[in-house]
Amino acid sequence: MSCTAATVLNWSIPVAIAIAILLAIVTISYWQTIHAYPKGGGAYIVARDNLGELPAQVAGAALLTDYILTVAVSISAGVAQITSGIPDLLPWRVELAVAVIAIIMLINLRGVRESGQVFAVPTYFFLMIMFITLVVALVRLIIGNLPTVTEVEVMHETTQSLTLFLILRAFSSGCTALTGIEAISNGIMAFKEPRSHNAATTLVWMSSILIVLFLGITLVAHQIEVLPSETETVISQLGRTVYGEGSIFYFMVLAGTALILLMAANTSFADFPRLAALQAADGFLPRQLTARGGRLVFSWGILGLSVFASILVIITDARTTRLIPLYAIGVFMSFTLSQTGMAKRAWRIGKIKPGEVIQGRETPMMFDPTWRSKMAISAFGAVCTGVVMIVFAVTKFHDGAWFVVLLIPTLVFIFFRIHNHYQRVAHALSLSESKITVDKEPGNVRTIILVDDVHAGTVRMVNFAKALGHPWEAVHVGIKPEKIAIVQEKWAKRIGEGELRILDSPYRLLADPIRQRVQEILDSDPKVFVHVIMGHLAMDTYWEQALHQNTAYVFNLALSRMDRVVVTSVPYQIHRDTNGNHH
């Protein structure tokens, strides 16, 4: 064994213990959060309730980034398990990862209840096979016939950089386990009553299982001298050494690990859309993210997460070594803000008089004689996770962490720009500020029909305009002289009434001449409303629709910025019969 590998192995146990201690600290702190926020208390809600909007948006940016990276890291690591067992698939790891993201996206678009049923079985299978593996490894270790790892392609790096890289990589990889804590804190409403008790119990059990598994795997990996490799994962080396290459149990270990890593991404598919909807409801993200689809899921959030995670997988070539430096900062930033918020909440509770109740933004607060111990636990946890965040930001800055360090404040800036926009719009729409008043006498309405050609759709627009009972005229933008004569002739023969006005367009523009005509009518009467009617063909299929010019959107965009102008689009449906004929 090389000196570097020996150094890394010697560090593996202390790193694992450090992660276990950190996990325990964060678990205790979040146990308090779950009881304080029985309707869900993720980092965003806790920070917003106790620290203010700016820290809340920082937490939101960190969490959204973290959820995207969780999908990319989990799925890339899961695909790495598959390629460890089937090396021929290694060149296809990016395609496999993107395909898996698409599959999980489709499952989640079906609804949370159905996806939860799909993802429950792999979880239990993974726990069962890993505990069996640890027991077999420990028994073989005790009786003295546990071999060491052989035939591994070791990473090629300098000794110093490799040692530091692997120690940090091991720490960061292990810390991916901590993301489940935030997920439970966010998803309290998914538990049965009593929700807080059941969520807290689940949190303790999850953390305990993770600590046992993580320490057990690290101990066995240390004993069998697992080596750093880009082509074979630690779990693959462990399973191959314990069971032997080609053993059914070896492939069960790989399958279980791959499944649990792939399923871990499902946490983000639940939490990313939920958090995005929360921020959108507060006015810091587009309001469309609050809309639920037909399956009562936040479809836009799920689609957005899938796209961003896929892009990240493609850019990093589905290599976890490139993703992990990006991953840890967002995780620990959200932990730090959440626990800081809980420490401040405990301090505020300590200032409340006994018997007094103060209503917070999310939950009521009343005096608690144990506020000092709760504040100390949360503050200590915040310091620990804050130190880890700073260490990763500094040590891995040149390896990709700079991207997250710049991305999070950029996202926060965008959030507040969106928020300011919504505030300005709300102010502009406010009746108390508006100069618009209800007219005491009804105004006039003038109707304009946009005519490109004279056909069945044109007849429908004319009939609609006549049904409204307002004065109307038709306009045709004259770009081709030969077409002008044809349209005028058709209008005279097939419509035979109303004025067809030809608008000159020397620069072959469509929208500008129409805007000028509308403005002429508006200038003629300060109280007139101009009703612009345009038509469009409605085809049976999307591909047929794409073959036709859909200028209605362009005209609508051009005219919607004009005051006292209303635009109506009249569809003319064209269906295809069983023989393929349109009618």
Give 363's pLDDT tier (boundaries 50, 70, 90): confident
Q: Count CB atoms within 10 A of the CB of residue 237.
A: 23
pLDDT tens, position by position, 100-128: 999 989 988 876 554 555 556 787 888 89
Q: Report the pLDDT averaged over residues 495-505.
A: 90
Q: What pLDDT, on the 0 to 100 scale, is given for residue 158?
A: 40
Decide which of 371, 388, 422 is a domain's last residue.
422
Same domain, 323 and 453: no
* Structural domain contains residue 429: no
Name the more confident of 553 and 156: 553
Determine what percent of the chain is predicted with pLDDT higher than 90: 29
120 falls within a domain? yes
Residue 55 inside a domain? The answer is yes
Q: What is the CATH number of the domain that holds 496?
A: 3.40.50.620
Element housing 67 (H / E): helix 53-85
Among 118-132, 156-170, 383-397, 567-581, the range scoring the smallest mean pLDDT is 156-170
Whether residue 549 is predicted with pLDDT greater than 70 in this model: the reply is no
CB atoms within 10 A of CB 78: 24
pLDDT band at 466 (very low <50, low <70, confident <90, very high): very high
Pairing outcome for strands 445-450 and 472-478:
parallel
Q: What is the CATH number of the domain that holds 243?
A: 1.20.1740.10
Asked if pLDDT for residue 90 goes beyond 50, the answer is yes
Domain identity same for 378 and 295: yes
Can you tell me the distance from the alpha carbon of 383 to that of 478, in angstroms, rounded to the nearest whole number? 72
Give percent helix, percent strand, percent coil of the chain, each to the nearest 5.
Answer: 70, 10, 25
Residue 579 lies in a domain: no
**Confidence (pTM):** 0.79
| Residue 367 maps to a domain | yes
What average pLDDT does range 483-496 have in this prediction?
Answer: 91
211 and 88 together in one domain = yes
Do 155 and 260 share a structural domain? Answer: yes
Query: Domain count of the chain?
Result: 2
- Sequence-ordered alpha helix ranges (H) in 318-370: 320-350
Residues linked to residue 154 through DSSP beta bridges, in sequence order: 229
> Which amino acid does the sequence have at 245?
E
Structure-model confidence comparison of residues 31 and 224, the more confident one: 31
Residue 440 in domain: no
Q: Give 302's pLDDT tier (boundaries 50, 70, 90).
A: very high
Residue 266 host element (H or E): helix 248-281
* pLDDT beyond 60 at 4: no
- Whether the per-residue pLDDT at 491 is higher than 90: the answer is yes
Q: Are 459 and 352 in a shared domain?
A: no
Over 60: is that where the pLDDT of 582 sits?
Answer: no
Nearest-CA neighbor of 37 among 205, 194, 186, 178? 186
The verdict on residue 435 lying in a domain is: no
If asked whether residues 418 and 494 sit together in one domain, one would say: no
Instruction: For residues 404 and 498, state if they share a domain.
Output: no
Q: Report pLDDT for 141.
A: 87
pLDDT value for 420 = 94
Task: Read off the pLDDT band of 580 (50, 70, 90).
Answer: low
pLDDT cut 70: percent of the chain above it: 85
Domain boundary among 391, 422, 453: 422
Q: Parallel, antiparallel, or unpaired for β 500-504 and 472-478?
A: parallel
| 111 phi-psi bin (left φ>0, alpha ψ -120 to 50, beta other) | left
For the beta sheet containing 565-573, the strands, ordered from the edge strand earlier in sequence to the opposite edge, are 500-504, 472-478, 445-450, 529-538, 565-573
Q: Tell me the pLDDT band of 164, cut-offs 50, 70 and 90.
A: very low
Q: Nearest Cα to 227, choosing from 136, 163, 178, 280?
A: 163
94 found inside a domain: yes
User: Helices in 491-572 by DSSP H: which ranges?
Assistant: 511-524, 542-546, 552-559
Residues 179 and 261 grouped into a single domain: yes
Residue pointed to by tokens 């071999």: 147
**391 shares a domain with 459:** no
Full DSSP string of 295-311: TSS-HHHHHHHHHHHHH
The CA distance from 137 to 135, in Å, is 5
For residues 43-52, give the mean pLDDT. Answer: 90
Q: Indicate the average pLDDT of the chain.
A: 82
Same-domain check for residues 488 and 377: no
Looking at the structure, do residues 290 and 397 belong to the same domain, yes or no? yes
Cβ neighbours for 32, distance < 8 A, ≥ 6 positions apart: 342, 374, 377, 378
Q: Locate all alpha helices (DSSP H) within 110-194, ordered by sequence.
A: 112-143, 159-175, 179-186
For 457, the domain range is 445-573
Same-domain status, 476 and 337: no
159 pLDDT higher than 50: no
Both tokens assigned to 309? 């995670």
Q: 61-79, pLDDT tens digit by residue?
A: 999 998 998 899 889 888 8
